[in-house]
A and B are shown apart, each in its own frame.
Chain A
Amino acid sequence: MFDIQTQLFEGVDVRFGPIDHDKDAEIESKWTHDSDFMRMMETSPARPMSAAMVKKQYEKLEKDMDENKNQYYFAIRAKEDDHLIGKAVVQWIEWANGNGFLRLGIGSAEDRCRGYGTQALRMLLRFAFAELNLFRVSAIVPEYNEGAIALLKKFGFAQEVCRRQSLERDGRRWDIYVFGLLKDEWQNNPDGHPRQAQA
């Protein structure tokens, strides 16, 4: 269904690119000032970060990728004007077991609900299964992140674990779900069609 001429890093409206240390830091700094976004992306406490702090993080990230060889990070950009849309990551890769964890985020509100997340996840899954040749991927999602859960289900992810009351936010405790997708499951539905359309 894919061949080697199909570009890994080019989608319909979005592309994957490397970090642009100067330009991206400014934009990502703005995203960190949106606490809703940060609470969807991270379990660590949301905090605004200056562009200088984000830049430091990029440096740390690239050093870590280089030293540990268990993480791939992509900036998601709009093909139209190349502006930064979000990030797509495969991390905590265990090469001996062939598994890894996915992270995906669309940073600004204007870029959401436009199908960019679906396109980026489609590309990220192909990268994980057909370039890294992983056997399975996982995603960790708090129960309140309904957008992420719907997106993962579209691609056939199964909810495998419910870690009860693992997260404390807004004065109450929330469950954390672990979703998993195996390579053969992905091969049946690499485009992320809704379940009904498959039958």
Chain B
Amino acid sequence: MKDLFRGELVRLTSEAPETYAKSEVRWQRDSEFVRLANSSPAGLSSEKSIKEWVEKQSEKGPQPERYPFSVRTLAEDKLIGFFGLYVDLIHSEAWVGIGIGERDFWSKGYGTDMMKICLRYAFLELGVERVSLGVFEYNPRALRSYEKAGFRLEGRTRKDTLRDGTRYDSWWMGILREEWLRQNGENQ
């Protein structure tokens, strides 16, 4: 069987709260990163509060609808980002949130590798019928990477994001189980 947690460039981990908090507190200071990833206003949290938040999550134990992962590079063993799958168990749909906080690792294929692992996990381990995500129109790099992973554009909500005085669309994408299987049938 395939190692579900390992791609060509990265592997999935679960980090100690203090390790994760140390990285996250740095990532939050990069407002460009935060605005590419999230529609709510950028803010800054203390290392302490992030650590406590992660601790609270792990105290709850594994939750059947939440699958958060940290991501480390294979070459340097460096924590560079995260992704999470949030599953609607009733309707068999998973939503993805994904980010690379370390800017040095943008545009080098790490995101593509992460998404590959993410979809493989969603369809082969969680067994969902579809995977969904949203992306801002001012993030064309992400958009191209999602298309490459097999996502299809399903529509745009017009002008729902206001940033620096300009209104932008959100783009919504989805990939169905049968589409993913057709594209990845033999070589997952």
Q: Footprint of B on A, CB under 8 Å?
A: 43-45, 94, 96-99, 135-136, 138, 158-168, 173, 178, 180, 182
A148 to chain B, nearest CB (A): 17
Given contacts A164-B154, A164-B174, A178-B155, A99 and B160 within 8 Å (CB-CB): yes
11 CB < 8 A contacts A-B? A43-B88, A43-B91, A44-B90, A94-B39, A136-B157, A161-B157, A163-B174, A165-B129, A166-B132, A178-B155, A180-B157
Are the C-beta atoms of B130 and A166 separated by less than 8 Å?
yes
Question: Is the C-beta of B176 less than 8 angstroms from some C-beta in chain A?
Answer: yes
Are the C-beta atoms of B160 and A162 separated by less than 8 Å?
no
Question: Is the C-beta of B70 less than 8 angstroms from some C-beta in chain A?
Answer: no
CA distance A43 to B92 in the complex (A): 12
B130: chain A residues at CB < 8 Å are 164-166
A169 to chain B, nearest CB (A): 8
Are the C-beta atoms of A96 and B157 separated by less than 8 Å?
no
Q: Footprint of A on B, CB under 8 Å?
A: 39-41, 88, 90-93, 129-130, 132, 152, 154-162, 167, 172, 174, 176
Q: How would you classify the secondary structure of chain A's contact residues: helix, strand, loop or mixed?
A: strand
Are the C-beta atoms of A164 and B156 separated by less than 8 Å?
no
Are the C-beta atoms of B129 and A160 separated by less than 8 Å?
no
CA distance A136 to B157 in the complex (A): 10
B93: chain A residues at CB < 8 Å are 166
Are the C-beta atoms of B158 and A182 separated by less than 8 Å?
yes
A173: chain B residues at CB < 8 Å are 129
Across the interface, name the chain A residue whose C-beta is closest to B168. Answer: A97
Are the C-beta atoms of B129 and A182 separated by less than 8 Å?
no
Are the C-beta atoms of B40 and A162 separated by less than 8 Å?
no
B156 to chain A, nearest CB (A): 6
CA distance A118 to B154 in the complex (A): 29
